[in-house]
Every structure is written in structure tokens, then in C-alpha cells.
């Protein structure tokens, strides 16, 4: 029995390939199942190409008008869900072109003059990524706006600042939220940078070497909103670094959202109790009635995994390819679509959670003072008031922390006599720096935690994002 017949008769999976090699080839070769997402970009590119062909006299004005009308009708068909997608026609480019010829005849067959699917697909993916960047940029700005609003509201709401997830120094919730605004702002910068670099039109590179037809690549580039045409036809059809850059910028943004999601998971844990989320962004348990699980945050964190995978997939597809086009590059699309769609969802969920969360100010304040979090303030006081070298001050403070821990009190709970037993020159002025409020208020260095600074930064961001 040959392998094919054997496969066809395998009751577990043979049925799917029962039609033999032709069916297998069609299935592995076809991209219409996913690249139909680019139909708008494909039509936009064809309209610009046809207008240029007519302008330089390669096709007649009548043909161009017929193409324009035909493509508009096809767009309407797709929009209405009435378009019959064909796997036999492989991809979005051939599906639309075949339908065009079906509708308008001869003129439809002239559209592909001076271009190839190689420059066409390079164009469509660029246009799709550019559109996706514009949508994501607006969404990131929205998350930043939500964070800046909450930061303004909580510029003076104290909370513990952590390193190693151990209490380190008191900070404010506003300061903490603005840290994410800074990260997301850099993500927007990376996307904008990617957009700037990708904004060159590959259309007219044709199969790989350009064309002998007197096409005007500057004209199509301009019509499609590009800064100009790409400068090397081989590079134009062979390169997808813009897609890899896009996937990195998105993966980085998702990683930032994932870190925030992790905080939400920690903060909503009842042992922390720092914030509460409403039913809008939590789910109950089918068996444990008390449960309120931060599923949206968990999924933002979880989905970040696939976005890192998509970046790896893209780079791996490219790394073994000589110039120029190989069918491997058809694998560029699904990672791009998947990342763009999931990042959009994660951004929407994060904006929702930021607006939904209810900070628990008393819990945050109690936690801010726990764990001898003002020990650094005590050491700094010894340096400032007693002119002690910082290393000695650190040592004295360590002894005082150990003493307080032994007595079961916090630093402010030690008596002056107890403190003086460690360092006789300590005066009662020291108690002024041991409170959480004094600690945060003192950190006035630029970019520091002081509520006045945080309020100013939040106001600045809100104004920039308005
Ligand atoms: N569907 C193809 C892709 O996504 C279009 C380009 C096909 N070009 C070719 N020479 N077979 O890459």
C-alpha cells in the first residue's frame, strides 16, 4: 500500500486528506483562510496601481474606470459577507483579481501589469501593519490617560514601594501608576519609530527586479500615504524587518501590561487587599462562593506569552532565507494579525481595569509603614544631623531595626532612651522623619515620590494626553 492510500485509510486523520496530494498541496499552499483580513489594503493598493497605470498610459482611462467600479463592488460584497472565498485561488490577491475579471472582463486582466504578487503582498502587509499601529497607538494613549487620571487622584495615597517584593520604602500609588505611563509612552515611541521606517512603498518592485513598463512608483507611493518608494527592488520583496520590529514593539508593550497585570493579581489578593476590582473584570468560582478571580489580569499576563512567541516565529522564518521571496514568507501574516488583535484586547482590558479598580487607602497606608520601611529615612537623618558617614549610619539603623523587631514595635515605637543606648547623640528630632507621610514628602528629587511632585507629573501627562 503506498503512503497516500495508507493515510487516506487511517481512521484517525486520513479522512481529512482523503482527496490525495492535490488536496494537501492546496491546503498547505493557501493563505486565504487568514490573509483575507487584508482585503481593504489589497483593494486600496490595486486602486492606486490602476490609477497610476492609466495616468502613464499603460491602460486606458475606460479600463481604469471599470477597475475602480469593479473593486468598489467587490469591497461591498466582502463587507456584506457575500464574497465567495476560494481556497483554490490561494490568497487574497488572486481571489480579488479573479472576481474582478469575472465582473468586468478584459480590463480586470490588465490590472496586474507591471506588478507581481510579491510586491503586492509586501505592500498589503505594510499597509495592514501601518493601520494596526495607528489603532494601537490610540489605545495605548487611552490606557495612559486612564493611568494618569488615577495617578492625579492618588498622588498622595501612600503605599509600600517594593524591591524583591519586600517592603523597601514608602511611595504613593500615583507615583507607581505613573511609572507605567512612562513605560507605555516609550512603547508608543517604538511603534512610531517602526511606522516611520516602514513607510516606504514596495509597489512596483514587481517580482523582484522591477519592470520595463514606464510605471510611476512615486505616484503610487504618494497616493497610498507613503513617504516615497523603496529604493531597491530585491529588498522590497525580500524584507519583513518592519513586521519583526512591529512584533517586538508590541511584545514589549505586552510585557509592560503583563507586569501591571501581575501587580493587579498581587494587589487583589486578600492578604494584600490593596485594590478591589468589580464584577466587570473578575469572575466567580463555580464551586467556591467567596472567590473573585482577577481573570482579565491573568489573561493579559497569559496572552503576553503568545506575543513573545510571535516575534520569535517571525525572526525564525526570516533567518534562513536567501534573497529574495520564498513562500516561507507567507508565514509572516498570522503572527502579525495575532499579536495586533491580542494586544488590542489586552490594552482594552487594562484600560478597563485601571478605571475600575478601587484602591483601599487604609490597607495601603498600613502596609506602607510596615516592615521598617522608613529605616532609610532614619539613616539619612543620622547622616544629615549627626554628620555620620552613610555606612556608619546604615550600621546604627540596622541595630535599631533589630531592637524594634525584638520589642515587637516599629521604629517610631522605640523610646528615645532606647535609641540613645545605640547612638547617644540621637535627639528627639529623629521622630519627625519616621512617619510614612514625612518619608514620602521628603523625596522631592526630580522624578521622586513626593506627592507634590507626583501631582505635578500627573497634571503634565493629563495635559499632554488630552
Ligand atoms: N500568498 C503569498 C504570500 O503571502 C503571496 C505571494 C505569492 N507569491 C509567489 N511568488 N508565490 O506570501
Per residue in 436-462, pLDDT (tens digit) is 999 999 999 999 999 999 999 999 999
Distance 321 CA to ligand 1 centre (A): 15
Q: Is any atom of ligand 1 closer than 6 Å to the C-beta of 329?
A: yes
Buried b (16+ CB within 10 A) or exposed e, 66-101: bbbebbeebbeebeeeebeeeeebbbbbbbbbebbb
pLDDT band at 6 (very low <50, low <70, confident <90, very high): very low
Distance 22 CA to ligand 1 centre (A): 18
Annotation says 185 is catalytic: no
Under the banding of pLDDT at 50, 70 and 90, the label for residue 288 is confident
Q: What is the pLDDT of residue 14?
A: 57
- Asked if 236 and 202 touch (Cβ cutoff 8 Å), the reply is yes
Structure confidence at residue 413 (pLDDT)? 92
Q: 3-class DSSP state for residue 150?
A: helix
Residue 292 is predicted with a pLDDT of: 87
The Cα 155–Cα 443 span in angstroms is 13
Q: Is 49 a catalytic residue?
A: no
Give the whole-angstrom CA distance, residue 177 versus residue 182: 9
CA of 69 to the centre of ligand 1 (A): 26
Residue 316 has pLDDT above 90, yes or no: yes
Task: Average the pLDDT over 39-51 and give the result.
Answer: 98
Ligand 1 centroid to residue 272 C-alpha, Å: 53
Beta strands 228-229; 166-172: pairing state:
unpaired
Question: Is residue 213's pLDDT more than 50?
Answer: yes
Regarding pTM above 0.85, the answer is: yes
- Is the predicted pLDDT of residue 9 greater than 70, yes or no? no
Confidence of residue 171 (pLDDT cuts 50, 70, 90): very high
The dihedrals phi and psi of 200, each to the nearest 5 degrees, come to: -125, 140
- Of 11, 164, 286, 445, catalytic: 164
Query: What is the DSSP code (8-state) at residue 323?
Result: S
Is there an atom of ligand 1 within 6 Å of 317 CB? Answer: no
- CA–centroid distance, residue 250 to ligand 1 (Å): 25
Mean pLDDT of all residues belonging to the chain: 95
Give the span between the Cα atoms of 244 and 225, in whole angstroms.
21
Ligand 1 neighbour 31 (Cβ under 6 A):
yes
For the stretch 76-135, pLDDT in tens is 999 999 999 999 999 999 999 999 999 999 999 999 999 999 999 999 999 999 999 999
Q: To test ligand 1's pocket by mutation, which of 27, 88, 91, 123 has the most ligand atoms within 8 angstroms of CB?
A: 91
Q: Whose CA is nearest to atom 7 of ligand 1?
A: 117
Q: Is the CB of 91 under 6 A from ligand 1?
A: yes
Report the alpha-carbon distance of residue 383 to residue 279 in Å, rounded: 50
Atom of ligand 1 lying closest to residue 332 CA: 4
Percent of residues, the chain, with pLDDT higher than 90: 92
Q: What is the pLDDT of residue 284?
A: 85
The residue contributing the CA closest to ligand 1 atom 4 is 330
Amino acid at each position: 500500500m503506498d503512503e497516500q492510500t495508507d493515510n487516506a485509510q487511517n481512521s484517525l486523520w486520513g479522512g481529512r486528506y482523503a482527496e490525495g496530494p492535490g488536496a494537501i498541496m492546496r491546503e498547505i499552499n493557501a493563505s486565504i483562510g487568514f490573509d483575507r483580513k487584508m482585503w481593504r489594503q489589497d483593494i486600496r493598493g490595486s486602486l492606486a496601481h490602476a490609477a497610476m497605470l492609466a495616468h502613464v498610459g499603460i491602460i486606458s482611462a475606460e479600463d481604469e474606470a471599470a477597475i475602480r467600479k469593479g473593486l468598489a463592488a467587490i469591497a461591498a460584497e466582502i463587507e456584506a459577507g457575500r464574497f465567495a472565498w476560494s481556497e483554490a485561488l490561494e490568497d487574497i490577491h488572486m481571489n480579488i483579481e479573479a472576481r474582478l475579471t469575472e465582473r468586468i472582463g478584459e480590463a480586470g486582466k490588465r490590472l496586474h501589469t507591471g506588478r507581481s504578487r510579491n510586491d503586492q503582498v509586501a505592500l498589503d502587509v505594510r499597509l495592514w501593519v501601518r493601520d494596526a499601529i495607528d489603532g494601537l497607538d490610540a489605545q495605548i494613549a487611552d490606557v495612559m490617560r486612564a493611568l494618569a487620571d488615577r495617578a492625579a487622584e492618588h498622588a498622595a495615597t501612600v503605599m509600600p514601594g517594593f524591591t524583591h517584593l519586600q517592603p523597601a520604602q514608602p511611595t504613593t500609588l500615583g507615583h507607581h501608576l505613573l511609572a507605567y505611563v512612562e513605560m507605555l509612552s516609550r512603547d508608543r515611541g517604538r511603534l512610531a519609530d517602526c511606522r516611520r521606517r516602514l513607510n516606504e512603498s514596495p509597489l512596483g518592485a514587481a517580482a523582484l527586479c522591477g519592470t520595463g513598463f514606464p510605471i510611476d512608483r512615486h505616484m503610487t507611493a504618494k497616493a497610498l500615504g507613503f513617504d516615497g518608494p523603496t529604493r531597491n527592488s530585491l529588498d522590497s520583496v525580500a524584507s519583513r524587518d518592519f513586521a519583526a520590529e512591529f512584533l517586538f514593539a508590541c511584545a514589549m508593550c505586552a510585557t509592560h501590561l503583563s507586569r501591571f497585570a501581575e501587580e493587579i493579581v498581587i494587589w487583589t489578593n486578600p492578604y494584600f487587599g490593596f485594590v478591589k476590582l468589580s464584577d466587570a473584570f473578575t469572575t466567580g468560582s463555580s464551586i467556591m462562593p467567596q472567590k473573585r478571580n482577577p481573570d482579565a489580569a491573568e489573561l493579559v499576563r497569559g496572552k503576553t506569552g503568545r506575543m513573545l512567541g510571535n516575534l520569535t516565529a517571525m525572526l525564525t522564518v526570516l533567518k534562513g532565507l536567501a534573497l529574495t521571496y520564498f513562500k516561507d514568507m507567507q508565514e509572516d501574516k498570522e503572527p502579525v494579525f495575532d499579536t495586533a488583535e491580542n494586544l488590542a484586547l489586552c490594552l482594552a482590558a487594562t484600560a478597563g481595569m485601571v478605571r475600575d479598580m478601587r484602591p483601599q487607602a487604609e490597607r495601603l497606608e498600613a502596609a506602607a509603614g510596615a516592615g521598617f520601611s522608613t529605616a532609610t529615612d532614619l539613616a539619612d537623618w543620622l547622616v544629615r544631623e549627626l554628620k555620620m558617614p552613610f555606612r556608619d549610619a546604615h550600621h546604627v539603623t540596622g541595630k535599631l531595626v533589630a531592637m524594634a523587631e525584638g520589642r515587637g514595635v516599629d521604629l517610631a515605637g522605640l523610646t528615645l532612651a532606647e535609641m540613645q543606648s545605640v547612638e547617644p547623640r540621637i535627639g528627639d528630632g529623629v521622630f519627625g522623619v519616621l512617619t510614612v507621610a514625612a518619608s514620602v514628602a521628603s523625596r522631592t528629587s526630580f522624578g521622586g515620590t513626593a506627592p507634590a511632585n507626583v501631582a505635578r507629573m500627573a497634571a503634565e501627562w493629563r495635559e499632554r494626553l488630552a
